[in-house]
Structure 1
Amino acid sequence: MKQKLPLHKQAELYLRNLIEQDEYKEGKMLPNEIELSEQLKMSRNTLRQAINTLVSEGLLIRKRGIGTQVAEKNIASEATNWLSFSQEMALLGLEIENFELHISKQPPSKEARDFFSITEETRVLKIERLRGKTNFPFVYFSSEFNPQIPLTGMENFNRPLYEILRNDYDIIVKTSREEISAAPANDFIASKLEIETGDPILIRKRAVSDKNGLPIEYNIGWYRADSFTYKIESVRNITNKE
């Protein structure tokens, strides 16, 4: 006798079939949990378990106060040759929107203080930006800048940052040391990225230096995990002994 699938697996299978329909791929919101649970004749907790599975796989995205819909194809970044965020998005043919821009002078974070070799009493220029595709913010950036460079905060930051540094101040960035980690979103980041507190995010830290080795920028980006993939290609050295 064939064993019946558990209820949450039945719901998961139903949702996988549902999101393959063209209307949902084109952005239509899924029915709300109450409607779906009544339709499937199961509890909302069981249904939510199935939805959480598809969210963790990057197939669905939740928008706080709006609902759940099919995720668009992930944005992918490759580590073979590092690029600025604007350059990465331009290569993918994506038009990027700035949803928020905050500029301030603040004491440096510990990471920025260590990178720039400055004291905690020194104030640094800090730029925070919420960015993403049209009507879909997916990353919150925080950048701190070495006080040795002449950025004032009065620049037009609708222009790409590294273009400003190169064209306005003859600063050419060259090296980026990066660190990628995963974490649950805190209340602040969740509110910015329109996700639930505790939903998975990717944290991307960059320590950027110019062509002369001078530390320029310490940057942290908090990305929606359902909208960003980071690809790494490594080349192995082969010795004569192998």
Structure 2
Amino acid sequence: MKPWVPGEIVVDPNGPEPLYSQVARQIGAAIEDGRLPNGARLDNELDLAARLHLSRPTIRQAIQSLVNQGLLVRKRGVGTQVVRTKVARPLRLSSLFDDLSELGDKPESVVLVNQVEPAGDEAIEQLETPGLTHVRRLKRVRSTGGEPLAIMNNYLPDGLIDPSDEELRDKGLYQLLRSAGVRLHAAQQNVGARQATEEDAELLDEKPGAALLTMRRTTYDESGKVVEYGWHVYRASRYSFNLSLTNNV
């Protein structure tokens, strides 16, 4: 793939916005709207600086800011390339599998745990079922385009569904629940952040200590019973949540 020529970038040396920020913003816009597709290469810093009549440090700072945002990556022997942009996921009662499919991506999963085990105190508390004796525990790594996005952990009451590893690779959890006749109704969800552990880093292709988004969700059916509890971590460099806010005053 030939390097991208930044013919549309216009900088204003007298404007209030720093020059590197003007360059980064316009390259970022080209990535977001598809003019710079995944895998596209940028000219090297010297060529970009010459084309835009800017200094090399200015171009380096612009590129570094996009690298920090997860939009560009530097590869030895290849140069600077566009990487897959963030998955922007709306906060609604849907699975990551559903949302990726709607965006036109092909979700991929590696199943790490799919087993029935005795229900511990945490599982009983989170599933809000005091007499529960066994739960199904799931742990998967969800990817798209060959890039890992999230580690998905779930507890479900034993007997609700009995998915094979193949089904968990090919379908989303909510899809499997709906196919089993479970009528999903509502969920309580908490979004937060933490740093990547050694295990997180290995599974998500990040560095230990990298920023991760976290989500905990308790999902209820139409009768008000808990059908699943999930605790997931997402790569902050590749993922974001979208919220819609309304004024009810």
Same fold per TM (> 0.5)?
yes
Q: Deviations over 1:202-231 (max 9, x none)?
A: 111111111111101011221111111111
User: How many angstroms apart in 2 are the aligned matches of 1:219 and 1:68?
Assistant: 37
Which residue in 2 is equivalent to 1:57? Answer: 69
Give the aligned residue type for 2:184: V
SS in 2 for 1:163: helix
- The reply to whether residue 75 of structure 1 matches residue 87 of structure 2 is yes
User: How many angstroms apart in 2 are the aligned matches of 1:129 and 1:219?
Assistant: 11
Of the three residues 136, 146, 160, the one matched with 1:150 is: 160
User: How many angstroms apart in 1 are the aligned matches of 2:247 and 2:97?
Assistant: 30
Check conservation: 1:202, 1:222, Cα contact below 8 A.
yes
Q: CA deviation at 1:77?
A: 1.2
Of the three residues 189, 196, 221, the one matched with 2:200 is: 189
Greater RCO (Cα-Cα under 8 Å, separation 6 or more) = 1
The runs of 5 or more residues in structure 2 that have no matched partner are: 1-17, 43-56
- The reply to whether residue 200 of structure 1 matches residue 200 of structure 2 is no
User: How many angstroms apart in 2 are the aligned matches of 1:87 and 1:96?
Assistant: 9
- The 5 A counterparts of 1:94-133 are 94-108=105-119, 111-118=122-129, 122-133=133-144
Of the three residues 209, 230, 233, the one matched with 2:244 is: 233
The runs of 5 or more residues in structure 1 that have no matched partner are: 1-8, 31-41
Q: CA deviation at 1:106?
A: 3.2
Check conservation: 2:204, 2:235, Cα contact below 8 A.
yes
Change (3 A) 1:17 1:162: closer
Q: CA deviation at 1:136?
A: 1.0
Q: CA deviation at 1:96?
A: 0.8
User: How many angstroms apart in 2 are the aligned matches of 1:129 and 1:68?
Assistant: 31
Change (3 A) 1:153 1:206: same
SS in 1 for 2:126: helix
User: How many angstroms apart in 2 are the aligned matches of 1:68 and 1:183?
Assistant: 28
Give the aligned residue type for 1:150: L
User: How many angstroms apart in 1 are the aligned matches of 2:104 and 2:87?
Assistant: 11
TM-score, L = length of structure 2:
0.67
User: How many angstroms apart in 2 are the aligned matches of 1:127 and 1:173?
Assistant: 19
Work out the number of aligned pairs and report it.
211
